[in-house]
Structure 1
Amino acid sequence: MIMNRSEIIFLYDIADNNPNGDPLDSNKPRIDEETGENIVTDARLKRTIRDYLHDYKGEEIFVREIRDKEGKVQDAKKRASDFGKTKEEVSKNVLENCIDVRLFGGTIPLNKDSVTFTGPVQFNLGRSLHKVDLKRIKGTGAFASGEGKANKTFREEYILSYSLVGFYGIINENAAKITNLTQGDVNLLIEGMWNGTKNLISRSKVGQLPRLLIKVNYKEENYHIGGLLKKISLNKNVDDEAIRSPKNYTVNINDLVKVLDKNKDKILNIEYKIDEEIALELDGKEIDIKDAIKNIDIKELEI
């Protein structure tokens, strides 16, 4: 059972592709029109984690596409019936079997009622740490535009030249007691974030790479600092829209280190994973994260 609250910072990037298209806007990458930053929904990150846990770890997932023999997609009520007939039976079996409900919660519709679990793990909307460069790509298809036609079909799509996306998350120990979230579940969550991102190999997602993951675990009851993602920024050697790789920036952790040090008496430990191409900067100098964060137990995640 989870006894401590945790905060999570997760950064990943994508180049020449679409991290999260908007189906109501020609599947364009989501852009904040005021800031020019790329937005990625928390549902997209949760889908990444769910798919990894189901496809690579063999975990049962409640929210997933299941088709019957006729190819029709199973609805939520039918999915709930897979776990029992009564409200009590469904609730018990879903929590015992479905890691995504233990992590993220969910509403499970029944014939005359529903069961709602508040997820212990919640993420905000992901947002790029810089303005992005949106491009429209045109091309031709492999087939003719119609029977007897000589011309091929035309297609167009929207991509981002580069986007470094940051997610902020929190694990609430109180909600964890309701869904029976275990430390093993949390370990799989972290693995799913990192390895799930690397294993996104659909046409629009291939090339995404996890870059930095920091998990701050607290020892003081019902306490967390809050907003840790806002404590990091990029020091860039090119304009925002010209960023193409981690070679074009360093990750400034000045404010993060300050707030962690200020709250060190309330922190149990810090766990992290960092890609070798990412450079951290503190007080104008590149630095190893272990050297930057002092007087707090810190260790690398084994993923």
Structure 2
Amino acid sequence: MINNSLMLYLYDAKLTNPNGDPDEENRPRMDYERSINLVSDLRLKRYIRDYLLDKGYELYVQKIGDRSVTAEERVKDLKDANDEEIFKKFIDIRLFGATVPVKNDNKSFIGPVQFNWGYSLNKVELLEASITSTFASKEKNQQGAMGKDYRVKYSFIAFSGVISGKRAEYVKLTDEDIALLDEAMKKAIPLQATRSKIGQTPRLYLRVEFKDNQTMLNDLRGYIKLAGEEESLRSIEECALECGRLKAYLDQNKDLIAKVYYFKDDELRLLVDGKACSILDVLAGLQVKEL
């Protein structure tokens, strides 16, 4: 049986574009009133899907070669498939769910793994630069085409996510699938770097696994904060993560928690009530497993 889990995922972005907004000339998504950088859940799921694809898993949401295909084309060989056959074929449906057109109908599956939007723990400034292509902008215009390149100067991004044990049971999610998810959270972003995405580094991941499929705790982002110059950060060396309230909250609920799976980047400094500590200090009293 799969039990519920609650996830906390932190990564930083330096001179890169974590999630471009096509409605804003591909500028990084922002809450301009608060100067907070935003990243959609779909961007994070895309990293995970691309990582699984590179490992040889067949996905429901994927291109064929370099060509985008319709949902109908992805399931053309599954016209008479039952739900279990669909779950068995596509790991991303087991994880995230999907709407699948089968037998002239739509099957909708709510995935057990869900993330909400990520946001930066610091105030973020944007960098705007002009770029020039070496190709002519038009056949008669031999000058290179001009464009804009938008990046964040530094953003420390926090995501929260859940795994629903009840939904996991329905879509046949396995412990092996969850282990792959943990692996992707650690490795996917660095391995999927492109010109606009290079400069992003996972810093901390916690998956708090509960003892049943009934328990859930609050969004863990509410129990952490960055210690440093909030409005002018430029690198991981200039800040630390204050975890005193997180430690207290996990300890308060330790009887509900079966195990905490974690990884922590060596460059991330942790504090408990202003004093330097290790990740094991934060998780003291809990069963833990390092990824």
In the alignment, the residues of structure 1 paired with residue 50 and residue 67 of structure 2 have an alpha-carbon distance, to the nearest angstrom, of: 20
Select the residue among 88, 111, 123 that pairs with 1:96.
88
Give yes or no for the alignment of 1:161 onto 2:156: no
Residues 89-119 of structure 1 deviation map (CA, whole Å, 9 limit, x = unaligned): 1533220021100000111023521111110
Structure-to-structure mapping, 1:147-296, within 5 angstroms: 147-236=139-228, 238-240=229-231, 242-296=232-286
In the alignment, the residues of structure 1 paired with residue 83 and residue 203 of structure 2 have an alpha-carbon distance, to the nearest angstrom, of: 37
Q: Is the 8 A contact 2:37 2:119 kept in 1?
A: yes
Q: Is the 8 A contact 1:48 1:200 kept in 2?
A: yes
What amino acid sits opposite 2:68 in the alignment?
V
Aligned to 2:71: 76
Aligned to 1:58: 56
Change in CA separation of 1:288 and 1:75 when aligned onto 2, cut-off 3 Å = same
In the alignment, the residues of structure 2 paired with residue 111 and residue 24 of structure 1 have an alpha-carbon distance, to the nearest angstrom, of: 36
In the alignment, the residues of structure 2 paired with residue 183 and residue 125 of structure 1 have an alpha-carbon distance, to the nearest angstrom, of: 25
What amino acid sits opposite 1:182 in the alignment?
T
Identity over aligned pairs, percent: 40
In the alignment, the residues of structure 2 paired with residue 110 and residue 17 of structure 1 have an alpha-carbon distance, to the nearest angstrom, of: 40
Structure-to-structure mapping, 1:34-45, within 5 angstroms: 34-45=33-44
In the alignment, the residues of structure 2 paired with residue 101 and residue 239 of structure 1 have an alpha-carbon distance, to the nearest angstrom, of: 39
What amino acid sits opposite 2:252 in the alignment?
K
CA apart distance, 1:152? 2.4
Aligned to 1:106: 98
Structure 2 SS opposite 1:10: strand
CA apart distance, 1:134? 0.7
Q: Is the 8 A contact 1:122 1:170 kept in 2?
A: yes
Residues 42-95 of structure 1 deviation map (CA, whole Å, 9 limit, x = unaligned): 00000000000111x21111111226xxx863211111113x222xx1533220
Structure 1 SS opposite 2:24: coil
In the alignment, the residues of structure 2 paired with residue 35 and residue 297 of structure 1 have an alpha-carbon distance, to the nearest angstrom, of: 38
CA apart distance, 1:221? 4.2
Structure 2 SS opposite 1:65: coil
Residues 132-175 of structure 1 deviation map (CA, whole Å, 9 limit, x = unaligned): 01121112210233334343221112111111111100000000
In the alignment, the residues of structure 2 paired with residue 66 and residue 145 of structure 1 have an alpha-carbon distance, to the nearest angstrom, of: 31
Structure 2 SS opposite 1:145: strand
Structure 2 SS opposite 1:181: coil
In the alignment, the residues of structure 2 paired with residue 72 and residue 196 of structure 1 have an alpha-carbon distance, to the nearest angstrom, of: 22
* TM-score of the aligned structures, taking structure 1 as reference length: 0.92
Change in CA separation of 1:201 and 1:221 when aligned onto 2, cut-off 3 Å = closer
Structure 2 SS opposite 1:151: strand
Structure 2 SS opposite 1:44: helix
Give yes or no for the alignment of 1:85 onto 2:71: no
Change in CA separation of 1:285 and 1:72 when aligned onto 2, cut-off 3 Å = closer
Gaps of 5+ in 2: none
> How many correspondences in the alignment?
291
Residues 117-139 of structure 1 deviation map (CA, whole Å, 9 limit, x = unaligned): 11000001011111101121112
What amino acid sits opposite 1:10 in the alignment?
Y
Gaps of 5+ in 1: none
Q: Is the 8 A contact 2:246 2:282 kept in 1?
A: no
Structure 1 SS opposite 2:47: helix
Give yes or no for the alignment of 1:49 onto 2:41: no
Residues 242-262 of structure 1 deviation map (CA, whole Å, 9 limit, x = unaligned): 211111111010111111111
* TM-score of the aligned structures, taking structure 2 as reference length: 0.96
Q: Is the 8 A contact 1:10 1:214 kept in 2?
A: yes
Structure 2 SS opposite 1:131: coil
Structure 2 SS opposite 1:130: coil
What amino acid sits opposite 1:73 in the alignment?
S
Q: Is the 8 A contact 1:194 1:210 kept in 2?
A: yes
